[in-house]
Chain A
Amino acid sequence: MTDNSAQPQHCTEATLVDGHALVFPTLRVLQADGSLYEQAQLPQIDKASALKIYHSCVFTRVLDERMLAAQRQGRISFYMTCTGEEAAVLGAAAALDDADMIMAQYREHAALHYRGFTLEQFMNQMFSNINDLGKGRQMPIHYGSKALHYMTISSPLGTQIPQAAGYAYGQKMRGEDNVTICFFGEGAASEGDFHAGLNMAAVHQAPVIFFCRNNGYAISTPAEEQYAGDGIAPRGVGYGIKTIRVDGNDMLAVLAATQLARQVALEQQCPVLIEAMSYRLGAHSSSDDPSGYRSKEEEQKWREHDPVLRYKLWLQAQGWWSESDDEALYQQYKQEVLAAVKVAEVLPMPELSTLVTDVYDEVPKHLSEQLEQVKTQVQQYPEYYRATAGKEHL
């Protein structure tokens, strides 16, 4: 229960509290050279999990680079990168239990890889082929996996925020030993769903971690045109939610913050807000061109805060990783990704019948009839419907 027992304070002089009055400190653990800040506490981490995190860092870098190139070559229609935000995503993912639900926005595929989504599964989704779990219905990067507790991405911004509150409330009612984490950007925190979701979670005490990746830009709009005041974190406090701000480019700080958030959310069955301060090094999406709204110098400055490099230096300082290990891992992933592209892009499209399945639990009569009409069309114009012609019987 929220503690409402404190006596209200009064004053007799009209005084305004400034919107900028609440200034949040930023948790940081790891310095740019890979050493820890003085007095910084190391989160719970062992060699195996530390290397698992790093593997997902490298995988994500390689996947992003290769698939952006594939988009430029016209092999896939669209792509979005995680570049620059790997620590914000993986530091959080590594603090979770495998059965904690992840509700992502769209830029968090590193977490999905960490959970065990295979390279083939990534590719099948991006090429919307017959093996895509989502049956080829969504644009590339809209992944989802029930087995891995990763809710399928929906394009509209912020819609998952109130859903995460509800999902977590359900976990609480069922007495589950799990929480839900909900990722979103600082831009999505402007949507009405953000305010509705945080308020619902706070009032009904849902064990949900709201994780804001404050990456500086919402497409072309810089953070200062997105909100006034000291970022997203004070809003958590405003809604009565325990809140922490963390250096989003610091893998160990994100891990520490999320471990704490999970522990509190689970033990106290309440929401927690994390604001991770980071920077979107890449474009918003493959349809965007950041040279139209920000400078190369600004991007360069942030490259010096590269979260993957900083974390690698820490691994090396532990004696757990070497440059030759690094080179080998990059090479391995590059080869695997290229090979997987070649396999996925030649697989056939989903069957024609998938046009009308899953709209309802069972295909209603009017959709069966519409499918029959499409089949007739395909038979009449096989040249036009090349992807499905000859498969109308399916």
Chain B
Amino acid sequence: MAKMNLLQAINEALDIAMGNDDTVVVFGEDVGHFGGVFRATAKLQDKFGKDRCFNTPLTEQGIIGFANGMAAQGMRPVAEIQFADYIFPAFDQIVNETAKFRYRSGNEFDVGGLTIRTPYGGGIAGGHYHSQSPEAYFTQTPGLKVVVPRNPEQAKGLLLASIRDNNPVIFFEPKRLYRASVGEVPEGDYEIPLSAAEVVKTGSDITLLGWGAQMELIEAAAKRAENDGISCEIIDLRTLMPWDVDTVAQSVINTGRLLISHEAPLSGGFAGEIAATIQEQCFLYLEAPIARVCGLDTPYPLSLEKEHMANEHKIFEAIKTCVNF
């Protein structure tokens, strides 16, 4: 085990993936010599050469279209979109092309080797063009896998699994935690399976569900609730699509209550999908309405960020309301 931050863990995963497989190629805006604006790809060009780690022109649709082409002939491109807020110029390539390549060709062609890495999320005084959490747009697109790690150890294992998965994966990296989250990371090569949620902590009164940077806020709120005598079970969903219904449903059957928290706006957010599925599967076990603690249905503000965010205090209050229903 070695102590490292989330960026270093991602860098190590990329290093291992490129070292083990010549078809893994890393590219995006500024990722070459500079190592990306966050330095996630630092030193990879030195080690693997300009053919396998390079800068692209500033064209997100170009980056993903290019990556689709490479993946279609068997390469494993890892394409970086500099901020998740800037994934939308590539939306057509991802939603209409990446996601449907296999289906529309009757499996004659696929782009299963593609992984799209992109930093997402707020709490960094980034205003609305450097803070968005656009995961829900992609969960509604059949053919894509959507993965969000919560800490360095998870990031390394999930990224390696994503790169080697034979389906296109969008890997959202919580940029607020890039340097803030430091932890023990296993050395060498390991994978954490996709589409498996993790029960981070067991409890009996309420299930708290989230992903990515939201997990540490959920854990902080749970700690306060425990002090008030409320026993919380905490689950990190990790893969949003296809998601692990069974683990969540089993937990809710045990606790009788569910709270889902995400950074993205409430309406149309992925929490709604989870709530609908769980009430279908667990209706007779529920002792309170499923609670959602999410971002406001407004663009992400700069100056009133605390008020906008689904933070620890909002989650804590919602836990109490849910348990006292």
Residues of A within 8 A of B (CB): 77-78, 128-129, 136-139, 142, 154-158, 187-188, 190-193, 218-221, 225-227, 287-288, 292-293, 349-350, 352, 354-356, 359, 366-367, 370, 374, 377-378, 380-381, 384-385, 387-388
- Pairs A–B under 8 Å by Cβ, sample size 7: A187-B58, A191-B58, A192-B61, A219-B30, A225-B32, A355-B307, A374-B307
For residue B297, CB closer than 8 A to chain A, the reply is yes
For residue B34, CB closer than 8 A to chain A, the reply is yes
Contact among A138, A191, A293, A388 for B34, CB-based, below 8 A? A293
Contact among B37, B129, B303 for A219, CB-based, below 8 A? B37
How far, in angstroms, from A384 to B313 measured CA to CA in the complex?
A: 9
Interface of B is mostly: loop
How far, in angstroms, from A156 to B37 measured CA to CA in the complex?
A: 16
With A139-B127, A156-B86 known, 19 other A-B pairs at CB within 8 A are A136-B302, A136-B304, A138-B128, A138-B129, A155-B129, A156-B88, A191-B58, A191-B59, A192-B89, A219-B34, A220-B33, A221-B58, A355-B307, A366-B267, A367-B296, A377-B314, A380-B313, A381-B313, A387-B303
Cβ proximity bits B103-132 to A, threshold 8 Å, 1 near / 0 not: 000000000000000000000011111100
Interface of A is mostly: loop
| B61 surroundings in chain A (CB, below 8 A) | 192
For residue B317, CB closer than 8 A to chain A, the reply is yes
| B59 surroundings in chain A (CB, below 8 A) | 190-192
| B55 surroundings in chain A (CB, below 8 A) | 220-221, 225
In the complex, how many residues of chain B place their beta carbon closer than 8 angstroms to a beta carbon of chain A?
41
How far, in angstroms, from A34 to B129 measured CA to CA in the complex?
A: 42
CB-based A-B contact count at 8 angstroms? 137
For residue B244, CB closer than 8 A to chain A, the reply is no
B30 touches A220 (CB 8 A): yes
| A293 surroundings in chain B (CB, below 8 A) | 33-34
For residue B29, CB closer than 8 A to chain A, the reply is yes
Nearest-neighbor residue (CB-CB) of B82 within chain A: A219
A187 to chain B, nearest CB (A): 4
Nearest-neighbor residue (CB-CB) of B35 within chain A: A292
Question: Which of A136, A350, A370, A385: most chain B Cβ within 10 A?
Answer: A370
A138 to chain B, nearest CB (A): 5
A285 to chain B, nearest CB (A): 9
| A139 surroundings in chain B (CB, below 8 A) | 125-127, 129-130, 302
Contact among B30, B301, B311 for A137, CB-based, below 8 A? B301
